[in-house]
Amino acid sequence: MRDFTLSDFDFHLPPELVAQHPAPERTASRLLDGTGAAPADRIFKDLPSLLREGDLLVFNDTRVVKARLFGEKPTGGKLELLVERVLQGQEVVAHMKVSKKPPVGTTLQMVGANGPGFRATLLGRWPEEDGALFRFAFESDTGENPYMLMERCGHVPLPPYITHTDSAEDERRYQTVFARVPGAVAAPTAALHFDEALLAALAARGVRRANVTLHVGAGTFQPVKTENIAEHQMHAERYEVPEATQRAIADCKARGGRIVAVGTTTVRTLESWAKSGEASGDTRIFITPGFAFAHVDLLVTNFHLPKSTLMMLVSALAGYERVMALYAHAIAERYRFFSYGDAMLLARAPT
C-alpha cells in the first residue's frame, strides 16, 4: 500500500459544476454506476435494477435542524451561531461567528424569524476551556426547548459552497423523506435522492431497509490542512446503530445479501460500530486507503470536495485509481457535484 498525501486527493473542479439547487425531482438526479468494468451513466431512479433481492439498504435517519441563528451582543455587534449539538436541558454547543468574542456570562439577543426571539447566555468554551466551540444556555419567555427555538427562529444550515440564502425549497429538499431524529447541521446528502415511490420500487424488488443515526456536524466541511493526512484530527459526531439494524445486518450476511450504505455517514456509523464494539457514542473515525471494512459492500454517495476526508473514504472503499477515474469521467460528462448534485454507486474493491 502506497503512502497517500493530501495532494493525491486533489482535482480541478469547474465551479459551474457545483450544484446550487436540487434536481426538479429527487430521483431525476444522474447516477454514475461505478461497479462495472467501465463507468455507466444512469438516472437515480434506475437504482433498483442495480441491486438484488436480499440486499440491505442502510440509511441515516438523522434530521437536519435549523441550526443557523442570528443575533447581536449587548453592544449592538452582530453575530451568528451554528448549533452543533443540544446538551441537557436548555444548553447547546455552537460555533460562533463574531468580530470580537464576548466574555463568558454575556447574554446575546437572538433574532426570531417568525415571532419573538430569545436569549443565549455564553457559559464558556466546549468541550474544554480551550475548546473550539462554545456552550450556551437558551432562554425564552415562551418556555420553548432548543429544538423548538431553532425551528422557529433558525435558518437551514446550507453548506458554505451553496451561495443563496435558505428558502422554502431548501427547507423541503435539504432533508430526506425519512428524516426522523433531529440533530444534524448537514444533510446525509446521498439519501436526498430517494422518494417514497423509489423506496416502494426497491421493496418490491426484495431489497430490505434499515436505519442508523449519525448527526452530521459542521466538521464534515472542515478542510484537511496537513499534507501528511495521518496528522489530521477528525471532528466528533454522535451515532447509534439500533438493535433492529444489528439484526438486519446479521440476517443479510447470513442469506448472502450485500450491505448497501447510503452515504458516507452511514459508512462511518457502521464501521465505527464494528471497530469499537459500541452501538452508540461519539465517533472520530478517519477512513483512508488501507482501511479494513467490516460491513459495507456497496456505497451510494454524492460527489465530494477535493482534498476532503470523504474523498479519502470513498477511495478506501472502491480503490484510489478507480475513484479518481470515475471523478474524471463525471467532470467530463458534466455531472453536478456536492450536496445538491448527482450520485454514484461504488462497490468495495477486492482485498
- Give the model's pLDDT for residue 296: 98
Instruction: Give the burial string for 91-126 (b: 16+ CB within 10 Å, else e).
Output: bbbbbbebeeebeeeeebebebeeeebbebbbeebb
**Residue (of 213, 235, 208, 269) closest to 51 by Cα position:** 208
Grid cell at residue 21: 439547487
pLDDT tens track of the chain, all 351 residues?
789 999 999 999 999 999 999 999 999 999 999 999 999 999 999 999 999 999 999 999 999 999 999 999 999 999 999 999 999 999 999 999 999 999 999 999 999 876 789 999 999 999 887 788 999 999 999 899 999 999 999 999 999 999 999 999 999 999 999 999 999 999 999 999 999 999 999 999 999 999 999 999 988 888 899 999 999 999 889 999 999 999 999 999 999 999 999 999 999 999 999 999 999 999 999 999 999 999 999 999 999 999 999 999 999 999 999 999 999 999 999 999 999 999 999 999 997
Strands (E), the chain: 30-33, 40-43, 56-60, 62-64, 68-72, 78-86, 91-98, 107-110, 118-126, 133-139, 181-184, 208-214, 237-240, 259-262, 280-283, 298-302, 343-347
74 neighbors 227 (Cβ within 8 angstroms): no
Q: Report the C-alpha gap between 190 and 338 in whole angstroms.
A: 10
- Give the model's pLDDT for residue 221: 82
Strands 68-72 and 107-110, by their bridges, are: antiparallel
- Give the model's pLDDT for residue 81: 97
User: Options 3.40.640.10, 3.40.50.720, 2.160.10.10, 3.40.1780.10; which CATH number does 6-64+169-347 get?
Assistant: 3.40.1780.10
pTM for the complete prediction?
0.95
- Give the model's pLDDT for residue 235: 87
Q: Report the C-alpha gap between 311 and 2 in whole angstroms.
A: 16
Fold of the CATH domain 68-153: Thrombin, subunit H (2.40.10)
List the domain boundaries for the chain. Answer: 6-64+169-347, 68-153
195 neighbors 177 (Cβ within 8 angstroms): yes
Q: Report the C-alpha gap between 51 and 134 in whole angstroms.
A: 44
